[in-house]
Structure 1
Amino acid sequence: MEKIKILLLGLGNINNAGDEILIETTEWLVKKSGGVKIIRKQLMPAYKEIIKDYKTCILALPLKYLSRAFHGNIKYRMTNIMYKIKYKRYFRDCIKKADKIVLPVGMLKYTTQDLSYLFEMINGLATRYNKPVLMSAMSIAKPDKHDWRYNQLVKAVNLPCVKSITTRDGKEGLTRLRKYYTKENIHTDYVGDPALWIPECYQTERSVVRQSNIIGINVIRKGIYSAYSDKPFSDSQMINLYKEIITELERRGHQWILFCNGMQEDYEVALQLIDELGLPSEKLLPAPNSGKELVEMISSFKAVFGARLHACITAVSLGVPVSGLLWDDKLECFSRTMKIRQFFSDVEELKGNLVVDKLEAAINHEFDFWNLDSYKTRTSGSIKDFIS
């Protein structure tokens, strides 16, 4: 019997190990369904991956830079044309080779990362070639009917090829998805993030007994609040928060170490902390080069103060206590679905002593693994149903 060819399109090339974990755990779940052949491609391929089509790449460059001179709908339309010139042949070739398509991107959003342009292009091509699409485990962005990109995204998710959209934002995210994005004929449901399957995918043991005494402090780039949150929290406040957390942990006798998910902007913040606090270089772990390296890092901690979503998800999946920041809805929804919202801090609570209070409370908390496993079951079930 010929295997079903499944095309996975994800964000695996932006030096964020969390995105790689999302793709790899999704791939593991797809393979677990049986009878499949995986075709894994980048959602945003580098120029070297599309260089054979160099003429269209050259045509795309003027639009890329010209669009920066405009704002609003004109800019969005120009950017949309640029993406079609640059990537349409690449996606067409990928999609024609597949039987079904899974998008393990994690976000149904339009204001950052230019996803609305990509989703409309991919789903449009999938519709043309009659290839079913699963948009898997998406966090659901707030709607804005006045934003051209939001309306483009709504169009993209309602194209005939889209057979199922699942959200990792729980019942609240499912309500938002159905109310503001999808029509009734599209199957929708809530699931867990595929990264909850990290122990099985990476063959790493989940444990509630910690052998380590080291707390991992996950560092995130400057400007994250201004980019994603409407609550003011400046870069200097962020740096001071990390300094306060470090000072408070040491005052209470905790061992700690800084780490990041792999992005250079995050690592530079950690280097700044090392420099300004006069700390030895050993207080910062090297940036992970793969999802597996990030998993191994987090599995070695007693607990985690998380800033990036997949640092938090990885910790939960491994049974490592976690508290963290709330700079985006996806962290709010994750903490609620995992029943650990009380350990995460909104802007008004971002003081070193309060954050460490929550971290210590998370360490002493008995985590609800039954709830976690129920979300894992929903995730694997949704993927298996789509493939079969």
Structure 2
Amino acid sequence: MTSLPDAAERTLPRGRSLPVPRRVVLFNVKYSPNLGDGLLSECLERELGRALPGCDVVSVDLAGRRHYPLVHGPARGAVLALLERCPASLRRLLAGAMLHLLLAFRLRAHYRRALRGAEAVVVGGGNLFTDADLNFPVKIWGALGEASRKSVPVAVFAVGVARTWSRPAARLFGGALGRTAIVAASVRDEKSRETWSSHFRGTTAPLPDVVVDPGVLASLHFPVALRRKGSRKIGLCVTDPLAVRYHSTRASAANLEAWYPAALQSLVAHGFEVALFTNGSPEDRGYLYRRFEEWIRRAKGPVTLSRSFDDPAALTTFVSGCDGIIGHRMHACIAAFSFGVPAVGLRWDPKLDSFFDMSGRSAHMLDPARVSGREAGERILAALADPFDPRPLIARAQAQVAGLAASLQTILAERALARR
């Protein structure tokens, strides 16, 4: 990202303070049913607002949503199941056509309204530079097109970048960044940096820095739950095998039907109380509802089903009250780390491995395709016995958000001077 002292000394008279933007728009998927997206969005909103006192920092959901879902219905799961049965080329064609219609008739107006009065735009964080049937390529292309119309400077912050894009996705992402004033860029792991560099080689897109996912700031912005003295509560975050297959590989989900109940039995056998939960995705919740009664009967011990969470605060309160968690979902693990709760990550997507590497907890990744659920009890015991201090990574994330704020202030100062 832009170095504040160098840029400020190059453009500002001595003693002149940097301007604070009146309004900054964050393009993300804050109101996704997967509350991990809301968690990182709220953390970035609040931390950037802290770094820019008096600035109106607002999130604009790329899908046009305006609030957290109140109904956890089955529609998304049905769509995923339908898309999974289609050949990849047909699936991409159908999804792309629907997305372009949605963009034309609803989303462009949504983006345009949100950008009124905005002096800067930030895209991120989250796994936004991915090609899941052109979903993000189309939406980011449309959103940045509106930012370009208004000549608003854009920063990309803490995004995930997928290794494989279709040709239409590459054209959309390339077009989005090519016509936009990208003033700073960062990604959330080294693999994303490598893939960004590969995708945008030979273009004007800046080489990104690697920053910490802003979700690690959860313990600074959400309340912590009180843990019961002497408790041995493990939260098991359940993900629908369909979702794992759709976003990863079939091998990653091949044995989850047997793995989950075996893991529950192992945890109970090791003396733990287990609370089943999800990050909020309706397909995950529906899968859990269909299975939990049988799983609890087979576990023959203290296993409970947590309530649905309405927002990220409810999710983080639950996670912070556990003694340990196990799961695929990245931001359940990130929130746990932030609150000092040991986590065992279930391998399915490189982004989760990257966070465990960055946080020094890679020894506590577990591949369900290779390690039986019967070993879950031993693996969580090992994680609990391996202490860690989240404060250095939290401080690093804070400094990086402050750096983002400084970059936005610097570019606004440079533009103001250029207009004189």
Q: For 2:295 and 2:398, how far apart are their aligned partners in 1?
A: 45
Structure 1 residues 46 and 35, CA, compared in 2 at 3 Å: closer, same or farther?
A: closer
Q: Which moved more, 1:323-332 or 1:38-47?
A: 38-47
SS at match of 2:64: coil
1:165 alignment partner, one of 177, 185, 188: 185
* Corresponding position: 1:317 with 2:338: yes
Q: What does 1:153-302 correspond to in 2, within 5 Å?
A: 153-169=173-189, 171-181=190-200, 183=203, 186=206, 188-204=208-224, 212-230=231-249, 232-234=251-253, 237-279=255-297, 283-302=304-323
Structure 1 residues 249 and 123, CA, compared in 2 at 3 Å: closer, same or farther?
A: same
Q: Please report the TM-score for the alignment, with normalisation by the length of structure 2.
A: 0.78
Q: Please report the TM-score for the alignment, with normalisation by the length of structure 1.
A: 0.84
Shift of 1:80: 5.0
- Letter of the aligned partner of 1:90 in structure 2? H
- Gap regions ≥5 residues in structure 2: 1-18, 68-85, 410-420
Shift of 1:193: 1.0
Hey, what does 1:28 align to over in structure 2? 46
Q: What does 1:1-388 correspond to in 2, within 5 Å?
A: 4-33=22-51, 34-46=53-65, 71=90, 74-75=93-94, 78-86=97-105, 87-107=107-127, 108-112=129-133, 114-144=135-165, 146-169=166-189, 171-181=190-200, 183=203, 186=206, 188-204=208-224, 212-230=231-249, 232-234=251-253, 237-279=255-297, 283-369=304-390, 371-373=392-394, 375-388=396-409
SS at match of 2:116: helix
Q: For 1:232 and 1:323, how far apart are their aligned partners in 2?
A: 19
- Letter of the aligned partner of 1:224 in structure 2? A
- Letter of the aligned partner of 1:192 in structure 2? V
Shift of 1:373: 3.3
- Letter of the aligned partner of 2:287 in structure 1? V
2:62–2:143 CA contact under 8 A, matched in 1: no
SS at match of 1:29: helix
1:106–1:139 CA contact under 8 A, matched in 2: yes
Q: Which moved more, 1:319-328 or 1:341-350?
A: 341-350
Hey, what does 2:6 align to over in structure 1? none
Structure 1 residues 212 and 131, CA, compared in 2 at 3 Å: closer, same or farther?
A: farther
Hey, what does 2:415 align to over in structure 1? none
Q: Which moved more, 1:22-31 or 1:146-155?
A: 146-155
1:22–1:104 CA contact under 8 A, matched in 2: no
- Letter of the aligned partner of 1:214 in structure 2? K
Percent identity, please.
19
Shift of 1:81: 3.0
Shift of 1:323: 0.5
2:232–2:271 CA contact under 8 A, matched in 1: no
1:193–1:379 CA contact under 8 A, matched in 2: no
Shift of 1:85: 1.2
- Letter of the aligned partner of 2:155 in structure 1? L
Shift of 1:267: 1.7
Q: Which moved more, 1:293-302 or 1:326-335?
A: 326-335
1:217–1:304 CA contact under 8 A, matched in 2: yes
Partner deviation per Cα, 1:309-333 (whole Å, 9 max, x = no partner): 1100100010000002111121121
Structure 1 residues 211 and 115, CA, compared in 2 at 3 Å: closer, same or farther?
A: farther
- Gap regions ≥5 residues in structure 1: 49-67
SS at match of 1:125: helix
Hey, what does 2:70 align to over in structure 1? none
Q: Higher relative contact order at CA 8 Å, sep ≥6: structure 1 or structure 2?
A: 2
SS at match of 2:308: coil
Q: How many residues align?
A: 366
Q: For 1:257 and 1:366, how far apart are their aligned partners in 2?
A: 22
Shift of 1:337: 1.1
Shift of 1:342: 1.6
Partner deviation per Cα, 1:33-73 (whole Å, 9 max, x = no partner): 1231123332211499xxxxxxxxxxxxxxxxxxx998277
SS at match of 1:249: helix
Q: For 1:211 and 1:43, how far apart are their aligned partners in 2?
A: 44
SS at match of 2:115: helix
- Letter of the aligned partner of 1:262 in structure 2? G
Q: Which moved more, 1:153-162 or 1:90-99?
A: 153-162
2:337–2:390 CA contact under 8 A, matched in 1: no
Structure 1 residues 272 and 98, CA, compared in 2 at 3 Å: closer, same or farther?
A: same
Q: For 2:33 and 2:39, how far apart are their aligned partners in 1?
A: 11
Q: For 2:168 and 2:407, how far apart are their aligned partners in 1?
A: 30
2:326–2:345 CA contact under 8 A, matched in 1: yes
Structure 1 residues 281 and 268, CA, compared in 2 at 3 Å: closer, same or farther?
A: farther
2:296–2:304 CA contact under 8 A, matched in 1: no
Q: Which moved more, 1:346-355 or 1:274-283?
A: 274-283
